[in-house]
Amino acid sequence: MGKKILIVDDAASMRGLVAMTLKKSGYEVVEASDGKDALTKLSSVGKVDLIITDLNMPNMDGIELIKTLKADMKYRFIPVIMLTTESQEAKKEEGRKAGAKAWIVKPFKPDVLVSVVKKIIG
Amino acid sequence: MMMDEMEYYRRQFYVEAKEIIEKATEDVLKAETEPDNIELLNSIFRGVHTIKGSAGGFELEEISEFAHHLETLLDKLRNREIQLTSEIVDIILNGLDYIAKMIEDCEKGLKPEINYELIEKFKSFAIPSKESENIRDIETSEKIHKEEAISIKREEIPLDIVENLKDYYERGYKVYKILVKYTTDEYINGFDPLIFLKNLKSNTVYYQAITDISTVPPIKDFNPLTLYLQPVIYIATDLNTEEIKDLVFDETLIEIIDLSLQFKVPEEAEEFIPFEAIDKDVFNEFMIDAFEALDTIEKNILAYEKDNSLEALNAIFRAVHTLKGDADYIGLNVLAKFCHNLETLLERLRSGKVKRTPTIIDTLLKAIDILRITIVNLKTNKGYPSTIHQVESELKEILSSKEPLKEEPILSKETLPPEDTLNIFLDQASQFRDIIKIYLPKGLDEQNLKIILRALRSIKSSASYIGLYTLSQMVERALSLHEEKKIEDFQKELKSIEAFLEGLLSGGVKKLGEILLEDRKITEKDLKEALSKQKKIGEILIEEGKIKKEDVQEALQKQKLMETGAQLSSKVTVKAEEEIKTMRVDERKIDNLTNLIGELVVVRNTYEYLLNSLINLFELDRQFLRAFKDNLYQLTRLSYSLQEGVMSLRMIPIKNIFQRFHRAVRDIARKQGKLIKFITEGEETEIDKKVADMLSDPLIHLVRNACDHGIEPPDERKAKGKPEEGTVILNAFQEGSNLIIKIIDDGKGIDREKLFEKAKEKGFTFQSPDDPELLNVIFMPGFSTKEEVTDISGRGVGMDVVKTTVESLGGKVYISSEKDWGTEVTLVIPASIGITSALLIEENNKIFAIPIDYILETLKIPASKIRRIHDRIGIYYRGSILPCEKLTNLLYQKERTFRLEYDKNIELPIIVLKTRNGSFGVLIDKLYKKTEIAIKPVPETLSNIEIISGVSIMGDGKVVLVLNPEKLV
């Protein structure tokens, strides 16, 4: 069984692209369109090994998602990678504080994404 | 395979990007009229930002680069570094258009080209003008001032690093410059600087290393055991110098330079209670609560920034308010004062006196950071950080820039506080009630007592703030009882406070008298007496000197709170139902489904046909037959529900196409110097997506026409005595099964004389310029009254195309116009294509279908009743004459019937049809039944025959023609 990764992004194209990249490296993927949706998906899928999320999304943004996850006993240890166009230091800092494991700035290089993912969940 | 999949997502991106551009265009136009609406600018910025990011991901570098330049301009706009002028609006719109064009190129498989000319324009506009610099707030200019001060001592620190360091310093981190002095010898001996750097980095919030790579030799001369780089590192961290030294094997290997001095602001003298005087336990308790509160505040500030949520703002206000009370209570008066200023700012935000801007949000966040740092500093006995004064003066600056900072007025009894304050109070009240409810029965040990006392203190100040003096007095009483160690009385008082709160929160609204009674202001006797005198109870009681005016006022306040509470609980239930989720589906999938449903209906019809054949051929068991029929009925119901569902999937609000027109109107208005108000009505009206796509071009043509040819320039309008601003209205609504779209303008209208002449020139003859048919000539191909074609209208779509498109949808176009009053064009579109109810009839042994929408009535009339009327036949029908004709004659365009060769007693079936041209009767051979049919388009070879609007396959596999009654007569 491959490792399962939840991709959270409001742009379906971006989700698709990330999913494609990860599937090629043998990961299983689940997609969600925003933070709220991610929580719903999590509760239906159960455990995932990693979450890759965008920052700016409707309903619930990426950082809020991390904070919510960290506050939940079931999900607090799932590592989260931020994948966003946001590159401001302050935002990154906010993400780091919230508990993001890595911060990748879009546009991303597929091999960079995969190597970061590998580093975190193998 | 890989490529295909990538392409699939790329195409998805095109769609998304176009949607973003459309939304952004709309926002730009809105922003032009609401220049203070920062949220709009933020939203545009985010949109372009997203396109930039995604485009890069899909290897569309050109789009990404171009978007980047537009984004830079937008960033300056949203940060208020430049002002949004009409010229900038133009250039942004051009930029958005250009991105759309690049995407279209990509869709066509062309390589998009970057428009450097536009980029230059972005850049030229991104330079702040002199005026806008003046508009910049004092805060920024102060910043610049400070920056200059730094730059003197800054030496060679790169500017961006200085910015970041300053930022972190202000947030309470320590900032250092670190020089690494490892030598090659030490490196060979196992002292790897990289280990130190890694350690250092993991302990910092900001880390920037600067290296001179020119010292690294070319690869052939490269010695792996030589240390070439001597980086200079800038960090922001919690560590002090000693702790940094601990990270390195030998502290002489590095040099630490504290940069804090460079950023330090002169300290102000401030008197505060020495921290030592505060009880440690109390402080710890305060600290835990404060951190929690700060987290809540921060989260809500972000929510507030995102969508201007009043709820979030209220939550911030509430938390700050509590924090202020707590700080004040334990004697941290500097902190309390700071919170007070913060609270005042929040209050102004709530009342709308101060507008939400990014600067304000920044200040709020800064304030929260400094509160955190302050608390940590106090905890570790470091005293107040100097920066707290700086942030505080920033707060004051904002407050004083609008109006002088007044002392918070204590609520006067004449004015009740606004409703949202009441909401906050109700929230607090319910917390307090719960606290008492939970902790009182547990027994008053030290821990519980502490919690209760704290709640009481908060209630006291909130209650007097809101004007509930009875409550605050009760609490005061309780507090003093506790002080006097009268435990039983204290508990009793708590119970009555709980009861008071309970009454307040019970959700019901009580009568004024009841409230007064409950709060022990009057006796039951007083109440009864007062009630017997038909007057306002409060007035009576005051008149009689039973109570004071203030008491009534307070009771009124309580009543209002109850009302607010009751409303609040009903509001909450509504809100939960509002959320609607959408998903995007490939259009082809829905088309497919529509076709399948069509087939399903055919199969259902076959089923019915087969069942009828069975019944005719065999003697079937009745029960068996009934089951069969029930089953058929169920199938019918399901397939029709299914069909309805799929049809509703295809429907989109017409808003989606209307939205684009604002842009077109604006462009024309700006280009031609006209003033045009563009109003869209009925935007929620639903329309089939396919129809919407087809109508988009004709509609834009009509709107352009109205603006270009219709609306006159302002001076011309003024001369005519019309308002200088012209109006163009786009209106959509449902009428019966038709969708009606009207384009109305109050412009110059069509000049009939001119049109008459022009028509004559083109070879159309009319009786006079007043001929009602005259206006229709403008729908003729190649017809235009305007001498020269302007570059706005006449972009390939003429009025004739409008007409053809609408007619291909089975619709109609009408025009009415009056000189100097304006023009109104009406499009009538039949709402549903696909499956309709139709009546099957037989004529000359052939079966035809007539859509039920056209049928007024079916009659059977004795042949004798059908008379000759003038040159045709007809019947008396509901008080008037209804012209009739045999269907065969209509179909084959034969001579009209004058005389019927039927036996006078035979009853003839007649269908009364209602069309745009009036009603008429059609004589047929045989009436069948009403049925649901899936109408397919007429095959191309038959498409010129107007009297057929489609074909349909029957249950037995026969093809039936669907007649178009509009064209029959």
pLDDT in tens, B892-931: 877 766 666 667 778 889 999 988 778 889 999 888 888 8
Q: Contact B904/B862 with Cβ under 8 angstroms?
A: yes
**CA angle, B217 as apex, B215 and B222 as ends, to 5°?**
125
Is the CB of B304 inside 8 Å of chain A's CB atoms? no
Rounded to whole angstroms, how far apart are CA atoms B216 and A105?
29
Which pLDDT score, from 0 to 100, does residue B411 have? 33
pLDDT band at A50 (very low <50, low <70, confident <90, very high): very high
Mutation for A interface: B1, B4, B11, B12, most A CBs within 10 A = B12
The better pLDDT of the pair B392, B18 is held by B18
pLDDT exceeds cutoff 90 at B496: no
Which pLDDT score, from 0 to 100, does residue B432 have? 76
Which pLDDT score, from 0 to 100, does residue B420 have? 56
Residues of B in Cβ contact (< 8 Å) with A89: 164, 167, 206
Provide the CATH number for the domain around residue B596. 1.10.287
Write the pLDDT tens digit of every residue in B150-201: 333 334 677 778 778 877 777 777 888 888 877 777 777 667 778 788 888 8
B530 domain residue, yes or no: no
Average pLDDT over residues B656-682: 84
* Same domain, residue pair B795 and B662: yes
Rounded to whole angstroms, how far apart are CA atoms B457 and B447?
16
Which pLDDT score, from 0 to 100, does residue B416 have? 45
Q: What is the 3-state secondary structure (H, E, C) of B450-466?
A: HHHHHHHHHHHHHHHHH
Of B41-55, B97-111, B135-149, B763-777, minimum mean pLDDT range: B135-149
B603 domain residue, yes or no: yes
Average pLDDT over residues B668-690: 86
Among the three residues B616, B635, B650, which one is the final residue of a domain in this structure?
A: B650
The better pLDDT of the pair B53, B810 is held by B53
Which pLDDT score, from 0 to 100, does residue B270 have? 33
Average pLDDT, chain B: 77
* Parent domain of B799: 654-830
pLDDT band at B728 (very low <50, low <70, confident <90, very high): very high
B418 domain residue, yes or no: no
Q: How many CA atoms lie within 13 A of B151 on its CB side?
A: 8
Q: What percent of chain B is modeled with pLDDT above 90?
A: 5
Rounded to whole angstroms, how far apart are CA atoms B239 and B241?
7
CB distance A16–B302 less than 8 Å?
no
* Same domain, residue pair B698 and B775: yes
Average pLDDT over residues B305-333: 80
Minimum CA–CA partner of B65 in chain A: A107
Mutation for A interface: B54, B59, B173, most A CBs within 10 A = B54
Q: What percent of chain B is modeled with pLDDT above 70?
A: 80
B600 domain residue, yes or no: yes
Contacts by residues B527-532 (CB-CB < 8 Å, ≥ 24 positions apart): none
Instruction: For residue B896, report the phi and psi dihedrals to the nearest 5 degrees.
Output: -70, 150
Structural domains in chain B (count): 5
Which pLDDT score, from 0 to 100, does residue B572 have? 45
* Same domain, residue pair B60 and B148: no
Rounded to whole angstroms, how far apart are CA atoms B635 and A90?
61
* Same domain, residue pair B692 and B825: yes
Token pair recorded at residue B864: 């004798």
Is the CB of B55 inside 8 Å of chain A's CB atoms? yes
Which pLDDT score, from 0 to 100, does residue B371 have? 85
pLDDT band at A1 (very low <50, low <70, confident <90, very high): low
pLDDT band at B385 (very low <50, low <70, confident <90, very high): confident
Average pLDDT over residues B54-71: 87
B154 domain residue, yes or no: yes
Which CATH number among 3.40.50.970, 3.40.250.10, 3.40.50.2300, 1.10.1270.20 corresponds to the domain A4-121? 3.40.50.2300
Residues of B in Cβ contact (< 8 Å) with A93: 205-206
pLDDT exceeds cutoff 90 at A5: yes
* Same domain, residue pair B643 and B658: no
B503 domain residue, yes or no: no
Among the three residues B830, B845, B869, which one is the final residue of a domain in this structure?
A: B830
* Same domain, residue pair B683 and B806: yes
Check: pTM over 0.80? Answer yes or no: no
* Same domain, residue pair B667 and B599: no
* ipTM greater than cut 0.90: no
* Same domain, residue pair B714 and B617: no
Chain centroid offset of residue B345 CA: 27
Which pLDDT score, from 0 to 100, does residue B413 have? 34
* Same domain, residue pair B92 and B143: no
Average pLDDT over residues B637-655: 83
* Same domain, residue pair B209 and B97: no
Which pLDDT score, from 0 to 100, does residue B503 have? 75
Among the three residues B784, B806, B830, which one is the final residue of a domain in this structure?
A: B830
Residues of B in Cβ contact (< 8 Å) with A16: 5, 8-9, 12
Query: Distances in Å between the alpha carbon of B396 and those of B79, B393, B405, B541?
Result: 21, 5, 8, 46
**Domain spans, chain A:** 4-121
Is the CB of B876 inside 8 Å of chain A's CB atoms? no
- Residues 6 or more apart in contact with residue B38 via CB below 8 angstroms: B78, B80, B356, B357, B358
B328 domain residue, yes or no: no
Query: Distances in Å between the alpha carbon of B107 and those of B94, B100, B110, B302, B403?
Result: 20, 10, 7, 38, 55
Provide the CATH number for the domain around residue B698. 3.30.565.10
B928 domain residue, yes or no: yes
Which pLDDT score, from 0 to 100, does residue B248 have? 75
Which pLDDT score, from 0 to 100, does residue B834 have? 56
* Same domain, residue pair B627 and B662: no
Write the pLDDT tens digit of every residue in B214-225: 777 777 777 777
The better pLDDT of the pair A41, B146 is held by A41
DSSP B735: E
pLDDT band at B99 (very low <50, low <70, confident <90, very high): very high
Rounded to whole angstroms, how far apart are CA atoms B774 and B752?
8
Minimum CA–CA partner of B295 in chain A: A67
* Same domain, residue pair B25 and B113: yes
